[in-house]
Amino acid sequence: MSEPILSIRNLTVEIPTRHGIFKPVENVSYDIHPGEIRGVVGESGAGKSMTGNAVIGLLDPPAHISEGEVWLNGRRIDQLDPEEKRRIRGKEIGMIFQDPLTSLNPLFTIGEQLVETIQLHLDVSASEARERAIALLDRVSIPNPEVRFDQYPHQFSGGMRQRVVIALALCSEPSVIVADEPTTALDVSIQAQVLDLIKELAKERQVGVILVTHDMGVIADTTEQVTVMYSGKVVESGTTDQILGAPTHEYTRSLISAVPRPHTKIERFPQVSYGGRETVFKIEDLARNWEKPPLSTEGPLVQVQGITKKFIEAGSIIPSRRKYFTAVDDVSFDIKDGEVFGLVGESGSGKSTVARMIATLYPVDGGKVWFDGEEMTAMDAEGIARYRRQIQMIFQDPFSSLNPRMKVGDIVAEPLLHHNILDKGNVGPRVAELLDRVGLSKDAHRKYPHEFSGGQRQRISIARALATQPRFLICDEPTSALDVSIQAQILNILKDLQEHLGLTMLFISHDLPVVRQMCDRVGVMRQGKLVELQDTESLFAAPRTEYTQELLTLMPRLEQISG
Amino acid sequence: MLSYILKRIGQSALVLIIVGLVAFSMFRFVGDPIDNMLGQERTMEDVERLRAQLGLDQPFPVQYFKFLSNAAQGNFGVSFRQGRPVADIIAERAPATLELAAVSAILAVGVGIALGVFTAIRRDGFMANFIMSASLIGVSLPTFLIGILLIYVFSVELGWLPSFGRGETVKIGWWTTGLLTESGLKALILPAITLGLYQMTLIMRLVRSEMLEVLRQDYIRFARARGVSERTINFRHALKNTMVPVITIIGLQLGAIIAFAIITETVFQWPGLGLLFINAIQFVDIPVMAAYLMMISLVFVLINLAVDILYAFIDPRLRVSA
Amino acid sequence: MNDTPISDSAAPSRVRRALDSDLFYAFRRSPVAVVSTVVALLLILSAVLAPLIAPTNPFDPASLNLMNGFTPPMEPNAFTADSFLMGTDDQGRDVFSTILYGMRISLFVGFAAVMFALVLGIVLGLLSGYMGGWVDTVIMRAADVQLTFPSILVAMLIFGIAKGITPVEYRDQMAIWVLILAIGLSDWVQFARVVRGATLVEKSKDYVAAAQLIGRRPFAIMIRHILPNVLSPVLVIATISLALAIIAEATLSFLGVGAPPTQPSLGTLIRIGQGFLFSGEWWILFFPACTLLALALSVNLLGDWLRDALNPRLK
């Protein structure tokens, strides 16, 4: 094997805080060879990004390297002064950030930003720099590079911007690129293209790439070497096949076991027990006094017929001059009592808008929704109030779905009090029971949401949703903001809800493997339209439309994972 | 772009019409204009004649329209107190205020931006901290106290500069200027500093906080990751982005300078519009108040319009989407 | 992410929680914040307790002795041998006492004006941000138009109009209330804009959607859910506004369009004192001016610190 171009030796980063010294990175070592892509994987807070920042000398004070060495092309770089470090940045080490929307200066054309970087590191004339820049844009597959050269970042889509960011990182032909979650903000189809580009460029230019990610699928499809981090430390390093196929460390094993499998459906996700206490939730106990009034019809619980939603894009006093954007276009489907119905699609496909229309958060601009044989879209205020007891929703972002200024007990009690199910004096035991059943500690009701982690907050959301004993639960990307181990836990609770309480669910997700694990039937949405609707297993086995086929091929294969 | 500017012009016109309504309502309903103009000794015929002459017997919208069209032609009626046409009084006083405001604005904007950038870049430096602390005293020090302090030091104790008035002025057409004589320039120094200092501290603090905000953005981090030097980051990338929001506020501050001129003019007995206005308030001289209001809102609206248009030129996002 | 609860112990009381908060920790660590709070509290306290502290009641004609006029500070008067901490003015009033009483007026006007602006601004800002549509358009256009005009000018104008409307015999009596109205009305825009901006952010968060889904009425959502979450920027603006309102009151009174001579505020005292600057009786101006500066500066410093402390990104 060739000499490593970048070598990290026993790196430790310290941040002094009010409560003592915090070490986000502790004793971390790994190497990068030319043309090699090393995945650094771990859950949020594992210190993987901080390591990357330390390597290129972009730690935000007061964080600093307290121990260890970083060697680049045989030269030690962690002790260089700031000016020397700056000269290495961009020239020898490039960087790609997560969010392409904020990585480019909005007031300069991309050409100006490219030429600036090229001239900074290479001794070339302005016209030569321009030529190089255009060639680079061409190389990262930007169509019409000559025209695009003079455009501003806001004229590019997210995926295109990330290509520009990659071009910028490649400007001076660096030997190493640190890519920090480069595709997390992108849709799957764009994600695949960008990852392919990074793979090609690494081979073609013999650049070593540190690919920081939380996504096992990205690791499986893109990297050759993997380093697994947990709470600041490296727990395991090895080739991708070895780490995914035969992990030796207990943490890696539990982490990989929690990754949803794209190709087989399993009953329950294995719980990640490493490092923390196992959370016990007792949904079946709720079933004992769960009231479930009989339905008034035999038909589907929810019927959606031709619903449409338009948003005003450009307002005007004159109606004919207003521009509309059709977010949801004539969508129809049924959800049977007790089933989990999935809606998948990329961002902007309208799947969340459908959910919010059914939840009455958005009025419909056309079409009808029936719930248990009653037309919800034609109900009076009293009918809507009754309807709202029957449906509840779990949201994507656990940090914004709970009011930070309300105690958890009050949050869970609010629906009970509002619907006059219980009065103030009697609500306490019920709230305590709900919180206990989703596995939260006894004193949880006295605390505020910020005292809980993302997974715990999502469980508080579930407790709130269960308070009115609803029949129908809408889950809008309930786990996409969570780490994979927490995701497994939340998905298990949702499965319990269906099994023990007989809840009907609308499950919105962009993540196909998760959908396969969760749903009985799946609808695929694209640009506001429902393009395909099938039983889950038939959809994965034999997709009927080209678009679904394409989505399936973009799914990470994770073939290396055994079992 | 064109539709954006047209929209702005439309909004400006709307503001002027609303302000006109306020000014007219003042004129019409605050006190009785007839009472104010005729005093105690009057006959019923006098009252009727004046009422017809002022058009007060006509319906409100007609009166308002007349008021607007008169105002547009520079006719604001007659001062209750001085008995002269308000337009003449304003023409006489305007140059003094405009010269004072212009000099102060240049001082405030120029020094304010420079100091703001300096304190943002050297945010932890000794000088920057010192300037920031001093600026808080500046913000807490009312304009009139600054004026009194300067008068005490430079006029009373040192006797270097005059404590009141404009000094000698030169007439160029109807415009009188104090910028061409030594005594005029000397008389300008203290009022200009007094008026500019407060706005300068505000602009400085604003530029600093906006620039710090910009320096935290991802594209600045990314520029750093590309190896762009701190100097280029500060003066090329960050400064331009800082100026986008700052320009709006500076526009508002220029308006504020004209308003704060009232205070400075009172302290220094500067014979400008502000002094005229404050006297008008004390004596409830409604035509002068109304005219001042109209005049000054025209200036404000023009400044804001200029700022909005400038804004569109700086920010490409606005240029394309509009 | 660590999925275990941060603490299993019983939740501490509200006071313990406040004393243990990062904000209070930062407060203790900042000498500027502590000193300015102490100074501001001392000034406010001495204004409130003025009748107990002040050596004389400057508005009681019986306690005045014209012979005591123009007594310099800490020097016995040539005729009466009375001595005054900060001297006396032309009518023999004790400057220290007039300052204490003047500060009462200044602070009362300042607090009342800020409260007025705050309530008005919060109500309009919440409505504007949460309701959107034409409510938002009307309120924000009005705010824009008013913002075009500097607040001190708006205050003067309102004062001028109010003066025109009130009959002459009530003018002095009404002056304080007119002043509060004028300063308050000129300042609501600040609050409304900040509250609206924060409301727009909060409104898009899912906890509001969750409350809507439960079926809470818009009014309940605004008051119970959104309001508590937009208060911290309001606190910062209120503090800075208090300093600005005190300065605005002083400025208006200094210009003679504020507190009347029968109820002199700090600004009125400075206006009176300015007349004696050239003749050498500096103390009549100097002490009120210093008090005003100390008051404005301490409140400003506190507001400035609060803004930085509540905005963690600025650290």
Of C2, C10, C214, the CB nearest to A276: C2
Amino acid B9: pLDDT: 83
Q: Which residues pair with A375 in a beta bridge?
A: A370
Band the pLDDT of C283: cuts 50, 70, 90.
Answer: confident
Token output for A472: 């129908």
Coil vs helix vs strand at B224: helix
Q: Which residues pair with A507 in a beta bridge?
A: A342, A475
Distance of alpha carbon C266 from alpha carbon C270, whole angstroms: 6
- pLDDT, tens digit, for every residue of A469-483? 999 999 999 988 888
Distance of alpha carbon B205 from alpha carbon B119, whole angstroms: 9
Amino acid C16: pLDDT: 66
In B, minimum Cα distance to C274 occurs at B148
Contact A531, A524 (CB under 8 A): yes
Look at residue C194 and tell me whether its pLDDT is greater than 50: yes
* Chain-chain contact of C251 with B143 (C-beta, under 8 angstroms): yes
Amino acid A562: pLDDT: 58
DSSP string, chain C: ---S-S--SPPPPHHHHHHHSHHHHHHHH-HHHHHHHHHHHHHHHHHHTHHHH-SS-TT-GGG--GGGTTPPTTSB-TTT--B-TT-B-TT--BHHHHHHHHHHHHHHHHHHHHHHHHHHHHHHHHHHHHH-HHHHHHHHHHHHHHHHS-HHHHHHHHHHHHHHHS-GGGHHHHHHHHHHHHHHHHHHHHHHHHHHHHHHHHHTSHHHHHHHHHT--HHHIIIIIIHHHHHHHHHHHHHHHHHHHHHHHHHHHHTTSSS-TTS--HHHHHHHHHTTTTTT-THHHHHHHHHHHHHHHHHHHHHHHHHHHH-GGG-
Closest residue by Cα to residue C183 from C204, C217, C208, C157: C157
A99 touches B: beta carbon within 8 Å: yes
Amino acid C20: pLDDT: 66
Look at residue A59 and tell me whether its pLDDT is greater than 60: yes
- pLDDT, tens digit, for every residue of A227-265? 999 988 999 999 999 998 888 998 888 888 888 888 778
Token output for A508: 């919105």
Token output for C86: 């900060």
- pLDDT, tens digit, for every residue of A360-406? 888 899 899 999 888 888 888 888 888 888 899 999 888 889 998 89
Amino acid A277: pLDDT: 55
Distance of alpha carbon B317 from alpha carbon A475, whole angstroms: 36
Token output for B233: 């980051």
Amino acid A40: pLDDT: 93
- pLDDT, tens digit, for every residue of B290-308? 888 888 888 888 888 888 7
Of C144, C243, C278, the CB nearest to B140: C243
> How would you list the strands of the sheet with A75-76, edge to edge?
A20-32, A6-17, A64-72, A75-76
In B, minimum Cα distance to C304 occurs at B136
Band the pLDDT of C2: cuts 50, 70, 90.
Answer: very low
Instruction: Kindly state the average pLDDT of the residues B144-173.
Output: 82
Contacts of C254 in chain B (CB under 8 A): 142, 144, 263, 266
The minimum CA-CA distance between B218 and chain A, rounded to whole Å, is 5
Neighbour count for residue C218 (Cβ, 10 Å): 14
* Chain-chain contact of B139 with C256 (C-beta, under 8 angstroms): no
Contact A69, A236 (CB under 8 A): no
Contacts of B145 in chain C (CB under 8 A): 270, 289, 292-293
Look at residue C113 and tell me whether its pLDDT is greater than 90: yes
Distance of alpha carbon A65 from alpha carbon A55, whole angstroms: 9
Q: CB neighbours of A504 closer than 8 A, spacing ≥ 6?
A: A301, A302, A335, A336, A337, A338, A339, A340, A341, A471, A472, A473, A498
Amino acid at B141: L
Distance of alpha carbon B50 from alpha carbon B44, whole angstroms: 10
Distance of alpha carbon A3 from alpha carbon C278, whole angstroms: 84
Instruction: Kindly state the average pLDDT of the residues A112-139.
Output: 90
Coil vs helix vs strand at B266: helix
DSSP string, A507-525: EEES-HHHHHHH-SEEEEE
* Chain-chain contact of C160 with B280 (C-beta, under 8 angstroms): yes
* Chain-chain contact of B148 with C289 (C-beta, under 8 angstroms): yes
Contacts of B237 in chain A (CB under 8 A): 105, 108
Least confident of A57-66, A353-362, B13-22: B13-22
Instruction: Kindly state the average pLDDT of the residues B203-227.
Output: 87
Mean pLDDT over each residue of chain A, to the nearest integer: 87
A165 touches B: beta carbon within 8 Å: yes
DSSP 8-state assignment for residue A269: P
pLDDT, greater one: A155 or C80:
A155
C8 touches A: beta carbon within 8 Å: yes
The minimum CA-CA distance between C109 and chain B, rounded to whole Å, is 16
Of B15, B262, B289, the CB nearest to C145: B15
Amino acid C7: pLDDT: 38
Band the pLDDT of B24: cuts 50, 70, 90.
Answer: confident
Closest residue by Cα to residue A412 from A453, A390, A440: A440
Look at residue A120 and tell me whether its pLDDT is greater than 90: no
**Long-range contacts of residues C205-210, Cβ cutoff 8 Å, at least 24 apart:** C205/A397, C205/A400, C205/A401, C206/A395, C206/A396, C206/A397, C206/A400, C206/A401, C207/A400, C207/A401, C207/A402, C207/A403, C209/A356, C209/A359, C209/A361, C209/A393, C209/A395, C209/A401, C210/A393, C210/A395, C210/A401, C210/A402, C210/A461, C210/A464
Band the pLDDT of C9: cuts 50, 70, 90.
Answer: very low
Of C147, C157, C163, the CB nearest to B252: C147
pLDDT, greater one: A94 or C78:
A94
Distance of alpha carbon A401 from alpha carbon A58, whole angstroms: 33
- pLDDT, tens digit, for every residue of A268-306? 777 666 665 567 778 888 888 788 878 888 889 999 999
Q: Which residues pair with A307 in a beta bridge?
A: A331
Amino acid C32: pLDDT: 78
* Chain-chain contact of B222 with A91 (C-beta, under 8 angstroms): no
* Chain-chain contact of A103 with B219 (C-beta, under 8 angstroms): yes
Chains contacting B (3 or more CB pairs within 8 Å)? A, C
Instruction: Kindly state the average pLDDT of the residues C12-36.
Output: 72
Contact A274, A250 (CB under 8 A): yes
Amino acid C227: pLDDT: 92
Token output for C158: 């309102």
Chains contacting C (3 or more CB pairs within 8 Å)? A, B
Interface predicted TM-score of the whole assembly (ipTM), two decimals: 0.81
* B219, B313, B319, best to mutate vs chain A, most A CBs in 10 Å: B219
The minimum CA-CA distance between A425 and chain C, rounded to whole Å, is 20
Mean pLDDT over each residue of chain B, to the nearest integer: 81
A419 touches C: beta carbon within 8 Å: yes
Band the pLDDT of C6: cuts 50, 70, 90.
Answer: very low
Which A-chain residues 67-96 have CB contacts (< 8 A) with chain B? 86-91, 94-95
- ∠ CA A472-A473-A474, nearest 5°, is 125
Distance of alpha carbon A263 from alpha carbon B225, whole angstroms: 40
- ∠ CA B50-B29-B54, nearest 5°, is 20
A402 touches C: beta carbon within 8 Å: yes
Coil vs helix vs strand at A177: strand
Instruction: Kindly state the average pLDDT of the residues C74-85.
Output: 67
Contacts of A91 in chain B (CB under 8 A): 227
In A, minimum Cα distance to C203 occurs at A400
Number of H helices, E strands in chain A: 20, 20
Tell whether omega for the bond before C76 is within 30 degrees of 0, i.e. cis: no
* Chain-chain contact of B230 with A86 (C-beta, under 8 angstroms): yes
The minimum CA-CA distance between B132 and chain A, rounded to whole Å, is 22
Amino acid A459: pLDDT: 92
The proportion of chain A whose per-residue pLDDT surpasses 70, expressed as a percent, equals: 96
* Chain-chain contact of B244 with A58 (C-beta, under 8 angstroms): no
Least confident of A498-512, B85-99, B103-117: B85-99
Instruction: Kindly state the average pLDDT of the residues C264-288.
Output: 80
Contacts of B221 in chain A (CB under 8 A): 58, 97
* Chain-chain contact of B226 with A117 (C-beta, under 8 angstroms): yes
Contacts of C213 in chain A (CB under 8 A): 359-361, 388, 391-393
C229 touches A: beta carbon within 8 Å: yes
Closest residue by Cα to residue B167 from B184, B179, B151, B188: B184
| Residue showing tokens 């002022």 | B54
Closest residue by Cα to residue A89 from A183, A175, A214: A175
Coil vs helix vs strand at A544: coil
In B, minimum Cα distance to A83 occurs at B229
Neighbour count for residue B256 (Cβ, 10 Å): 23
Amino acid B319: pLDDT: 60
Least confident of A175-179, B3-7, C101-105: B3-7
Contact B214, B120 (CB under 8 A): no
Token output for B38: 């005729």
- pLDDT, tens digit, for every residue of C202-258? 988 899 999 998 888 889 999 999 998 888 888 888 888 898 898 888 888 888 777
* B140, B146, B210, B249, best to mutate vs chain C, most C CBs in 10 Å: B140
Look at residue B123 and tell me whether its pLDDT is greater than 60: yes
* Chain-chain contact of C8 with A441 (C-beta, under 8 angstroms): yes
* Chain-chain contact of B266 with C255 (C-beta, under 8 angstroms): yes
* Chain-chain contact of A152 with B316 (C-beta, under 8 angstroms): yes
Look at residue B103 and tell me whether its pLDDT is greater than 80: yes
Handedness of CA B315, B317, B319, B322 (dihedral sign): negative
* Chain-chain contact of A18 with C225 (C-beta, under 8 angstroms): no
Which B-chain residues 237-256 have CB contacts (< 8 A) with chain A? 237, 240-241, 244
- pLDDT, tens digit, for every residue of B74-83? 777 777 777 7
Greatest mean pLDDT among A322-326, A434-438, B1-5 lies in A434-438
* Chain-chain contact of C255 with B263 (C-beta, under 8 angstroms): yes
Amino acid at C89: D
Look at residue C11 and tell me whether its pLDDT is greater than 50: no
Q: CB neighbours of C139 closer than 8 A, spacing ≥ 6?
A: C124, C127, C128, C192, C196
Amino acid C221: pLDDT: 92
Least confident of A113-117, B11-15, B219-223: B11-15
Look at residue A531 and tell me whether its pLDDT is greater than 90: yes
The minimum CA-CA distance between A474 and chain B, rounded to whole Å, is 35
Q: CB neighbours of A106 closer than 8 A, spacing ≥ 6?
A: A152, A153, A154, B219, B241, B315, B316, B317
Distance of alpha carbon A335 from alpha carbon A372, whole angstroms: 10
* Chain-chain contact of B18 with C256 (C-beta, under 8 angstroms): no
* Chain-chain contact of A44 with C210 (C-beta, under 8 angstroms): no
Band the pLDDT of B37: cuts 50, 70, 90.
Answer: low
Amino acid C81: pLDDT: 63
* Chain-chain contact of C213 with A418 (C-beta, under 8 angstroms): no
Contacts of A61 in chain C (CB under 8 A): none
Amino acid C315: pLDDT: 35
Q: CB neighbours of B160 closer than 8 A, spacing ≥ 6?
A: B154
Least confident of A163-172, B83-92, B259-268, C83-92: C83-92
Look at residue C4 and tell me whether its pLDDT is greater than 60: no
